[in-house]
Amino acid sequence: IVEHISTNLKEELSVSSICQRFHISANHLYNVFRENLDRTVNDYITEQRLTCAKELLASTDDPVYEIAENVGIGNYPYFCRLFKKRMGCTPVQYRKSVK
């Protein structure tokens, strides 16, 4: 499941879609993530998307809105708010700090 999430960040990754893909119940999925990763499925997906976004911000000159789309967050303002909330700076500030 973790590998599936990592390789499909751009796609819709919901609890429902993951459960259907792996033929498991939502409760089982929640329990597995809580026991093994000490976080929720959605938190894990968000962390992976933001980690990938950080890598793209540091290694490319792609516009931030394209990076947001490439990591599966199509709503650009939401992406910027989420990035700032989790990372403590905006995507543009992050890019400037690592270059």
Question: Residue 18 — φ and ψ, nearest 5°?
Answer: -70, -45
Q: Determine the pLDDT at residue 26.
A: 96
pLDDT given for residue 42 in this prediction: 95
- Whether the CB-CB separation of 94 and 87 falls below 8 Å is answered with yes
12 has pLDDT over 90: no
Is there a contact between 96 and 90 (Cβ–Cβ < 8 Å)? no
- Round to whole Å and give the CA distance between 76 and 53: 12
Binning pLDDT at 50, 70 and 90, where does residue 99 land?
confident
Of 23, 24, 25, 1, which Cα lies nearest the Cα of 13?
1
Q: For 29-80, how does the pLDDT look when each residue is reduced to its tens digit (9 = 90+)?
A: 999 999 999 999 999 999 999 999 999 999 999 999 999 999 999 999 999 9
